[in-house]
Structure 1
Amino acid sequence: MAGFSVERIVFLSLVLDLFAFTIPLPLFPRIIEWYTQRESGDPTGFLSQTLAVVSAVRSFFYNPSANPKKWDIVLLGGLMGSVFSALQWFVSPYIGSLSDKYGRKRILLITMIGNILSALVWVQSTSFASYMLSRVIGGLSEGNVQLAIAILSDITTPANRAKGLAHVGIAFAICFCIGPPIGAYFASRPLAPALSPGGLELNVYAAPALITLVLLLLETVFLIVALPETRGRRALPTPEEKKEEANGHAAEKATVAQRLHRLGDLRELHFLFLGLFSGVEFTLTFLTFDLFDWTNRQNGSLIGSIGVVSALLQGGYVRRATGRVGEGAMARR
């Protein structure tokens, strides 16, 4: 697409994708509560059997004196998030390997098909089993962020890579500002009758699910039209980088063994950070639901405020400071 750099295309596609991803975040506690009320009369159903296992595990560690059902909902929500993340962990190496072999764009578009299918199943999921199917499909298809990082790595040099990859963090921050509040707002709005032809029963939160679906469709069309293939494309060093290398001022190149060792250390640190961050991020709405009985709108405002702080840090500080002090020093701060 004329006038659009690859970095800008990746950034805009990430905004659409993460916007769709963050819309349901404040809704999870109430979604599970709705399914629990809806399917409580069926002791042989998937939800009842899952809750029985969750309740047994919870009773082994802690037996609250009041309202144990809310604890079970919180634990079930954690299990639901773990399934999604575990599937991502399983499929991510394959997505990366396939993109190296067949191209970033082709594999990205295939993952988008899975994301769209996941949203379609969510719209129509009137049972907990079908909703979990939606989450499973989404977990197996979610490769957008890792492929965006691969694309940005293809088109940047080591000197400007941190600046390019900052687009990922900025997109996360922006979408955490707007996605959860919008999801919470439309969760309280009735779905227009025209969107439910023939009285077809839809999910209680079909409105935010449809918005998610539309965003994913827009992202797919945008990627088809605008994104070029970047596999095998190498960014040329800038004149300043060439001058530094010619004068012997370029950074000393590490051996393959040193780079692999450093990569292993970074992987372990990243795993530890994401384990803590994602645990807090996903369980926060369940905590406020259990302790304060917060509504979707209150949870949406909470996550949105976290997004505002993150946006200020990512866009106002991290992006500028990284170029000045370097990635290593920035990571240690």
Structure 2
Amino acid sequence: MRHSPPGWAALVLGLAGAAGGGTAPSRSAGLTAVAPLPPALASVTPDFEWSAIGFTPPVTYRLRVARDSTLAAPFLDTTLTDQTSYAQRRPIKPYGPIFWRVDATDAMAVTASTGRVGPIAVPAWVTLTTLDNPQGTATPDIQPTFTWRSPAVAAPPGPFRYDMFVIRLGQPFPTYGVGGLVDTTFTITEPLERNVQYRWKVVAHLGADSSVTDSRGPFLVLDPTVPGATILYQNFPNPFPTGAQGATCLWFDLATTSRTELAVFDLRGNPVRHFVPGPDFPGVLDAGRYGRGGPGGPTCDPRLSWDGRDDGGDLVPAGVYLYKLRVGDVILFKRIVFRGRIP
């Protein structure tokens, strides 16, 4: 039996194809991610889209969306046929970024992938836009207007519905609450107490899902009137520093114009930091309220905030300290707990 030389069959097929005016078939298939793309989602109910070229139908697409970059535990894992988009209508919560990927297989067993897309940030369902300074905010309005914003959402499950609560600092239950709001602006209908710290929060609902956003710092309703008594308030935050505040606020009220002294002492009675009299205050102060920030600004007057440093600018050791207000013959004390800090 005679054997054809190596490659003979391929050469014959090639010549036959040339004689017939044809060429050997070849094609290149590919997938490209279209939306959503980093850095962030525009909607919490996004449409996932991709483009496909060079496939022989029917084409099967597997879409996976996950919180982990390996996509090993997807919260969405679905298969589509000849369809290059998917409308996600279960709202995505803001618990970290997402990653997604599409893998395709066509009728000729040709495969391709978009590769991993992400990380893509998921926007908060609610972003507070008033009375939300981490250092605290002061307002002269006893019935403040609260505002916030939300990202886009498809309907259904949209639109967002909101519950809004105002909580007195240190209290477990809301002072004021309202539910079923559809607008992102609300003015409370009952007056709040002056010179009391509050926080507020919004609960956003989409169908059976919800997400809570708390104010990053307290707010205070300022009292513009002259106080009826001389008072030394407890510093806040206490203990300090906290994650949001590196200094503590010192508040006091003077009922009459008086010679005044305000200073921080250690437990042995040694002075640590003088505020009044000092670089920012004379020894005689007018009647009024001290330590608060101005309307629309931070809760604390920076001139009456203690950051744990002595008069020389050096950090003092962590521990318990006292601050003393002396107004004429009246002496008032409060205790401060300083957690210490790294220089």
TM-score range, shorter chain: under 0.3
Q: Give the TM-score normalised by structure 1.
A: 0.23
Larger radius of gyration: 2
Structure 1 or 2: more strand by fraction: 2
Greater RCO, 1 or 2 (C-alpha within 8 Å, sep 6+): 1
For normalisation by structure 2, the TM-score amounts to 0.23
